[in-house]
Amino acid sequence: MMQRTLVLVKPDGVYRALIGKVISQIEDTGLRVIAMKMVWADRKIAAVHYADDPEWYKATGAKTLQNYKDRGVKTNKTAEQLARGVREMLIKFISSGPVVAMVVEGESAISVTRKLVGATEPRKAEPYTIRGRYCSDSYEAANELQRPILNIVHASEDTKTADREIELWFKKTEIFDYKRADEKFV
Ligand SMILES: Nc1ncnc2c1ncn2[C@@H]1O[C@H](COP(=O)(O)OP(=O)(O)OP(=O)(O)O)[C@@H](O)[C@H]1O
Ligand SMILES: [Mg+2]
């Protein structure tokens, strides 16, 4: 199925001069970049991007709480309170420097891009993924230092989120329709 997805090179990726490598790896999969710009997002965009979502709080809260247990660190916060704290750190981080935003299109663009990006925690991400290859951060380090996991890229996780995120970061007139020259072979 033809899909569109939103990719962000987050501030850590920009500061580490990995923009080109990220774009290059996306292009290598056969997908096409149909929109791209550098943005220094304000808090408003950041807060819409990292939506106030009960499902996300549930999943992230559980993972974060588990990590506290694994490290033997006591907390009197609930899973949801921890997840809300993570969201606040994410909002601050994503608006703390420039990001490169892209719309990427192609066959199964969402899952192909997520596969290329790799697992959320770089320490566990597969070696040939962007996160596995270019970073090594962990839940442990992030929670200990009270900052978000630094994992270079964001990629939309499903069609609904992709549509919402593309609309947030791009105007319709900033997205271009074209075909790659090698389209038949990828
Ligand atoms: N417990 C946590 N502690 C610190 N940072 C976290 C934690 N959970 C998630 N993050 C950060 O929040 C981002 C969004 O979390 P999410 O669960 O959506 O992961 P993802 O879908 O793999 O990543 P992304 O949405 O950035 O592509 C992660 O990429 C990571 O930077
Ligand atoms: Mg996500």
Q: How far apart are CA 62 and CA 89, in angstroms?
A: 17
Secondary structure (3-state) at 144: helix
Fill in the DSSP letter of residue 77: S
- Report which protein residue has its CA nearest ligand 1's atom 1: 64
**Of residues 161, 168, 157, 147, the one with CA closest to residue 12:** 147
pTM of the model: 0.95
Mean predicted confidence (pLDDT) in 124-151 = 95
Identity of the amino acid at 119: A
Ligand whose nearest atom lies closest to the CA of 140: 1
Identity of the amino acid at 184: K
Predicted pLDDT at 162: 98
Task: For residue range 14-54, list pLDDT tens digits in order.
Answer: 999 999 999 999 999 999 999 999 999 999 999 999 999 99
Mean predicted confidence (pLDDT) in 113-142 = 96
Please give the torsion angle defined by the CA atoms of residues 75, 80, 82 and 84, in that order, rounded to the nearest 10 degrees.
-150
- Which tokens sit at 136? 């090594």
For a mutational test of ligand 1's pocket, the pick from 65, 149, 152, i.e. the residue with the most ligand atoms closer than 8 A to its C-beta, is 149
For a mutational test of ligand 1's pocket, the pick from 60, 89, 138, i.e. the residue with the most ligand atoms closer than 8 A to its C-beta, is 60
Q: Which fold has domain 2-178?
A: Alpha-Beta Plaits (3.30.70)
Reply yes or no on whether the pLDDT at 143 is more than 90. no
Predicted pLDDT at 112: 98
- Ligand 2: distance of its center to the CA of 21 in Å? 21
Rounded to 5°, angle at Cα 21 from 184 and 132:
100
Q: How far apart are CA 153 and CA 157, in angstroms?
A: 12
Percent of the chain with pLDDT over 90: 92
Predicted pLDDT at 71: 84
Q: How far apart are CA 157 and CA 86, in angstroms?
A: 18
Predicted pLDDT at 38: 98
- Ligand 1: distance of its center to the CA of 120 in Å? 6
Q: How far apart are CA 111 and CA 103, in angstroms?
A: 14
Predicted pLDDT at 120: 94
- Which residues are registered as beta bridge partners of 104? 5, 33
Q: How far apart are CA 120 and CA 124, in angstroms?
A: 8
Per-domain residue ranges of the chain: 2-178
Ligand whose nearest atom lies closest to the CA of 67: 1
Q: Average pLDDT of the chain?
A: 96
Reply yes or no on whether the pLDDT at 78 is more than 90. yes
Identity of the amino acid at 126: E
Predicted pLDDT at 17: 98
Predicted pLDDT at 31: 98
Reply yes or no on whether the pLDDT at 98 is more than 90. yes
Dihedral sign for Cα atoms in the order 104, 8, 49, 116: positive
Mean predicted confidence (pLDDT) in 92-115 = 98
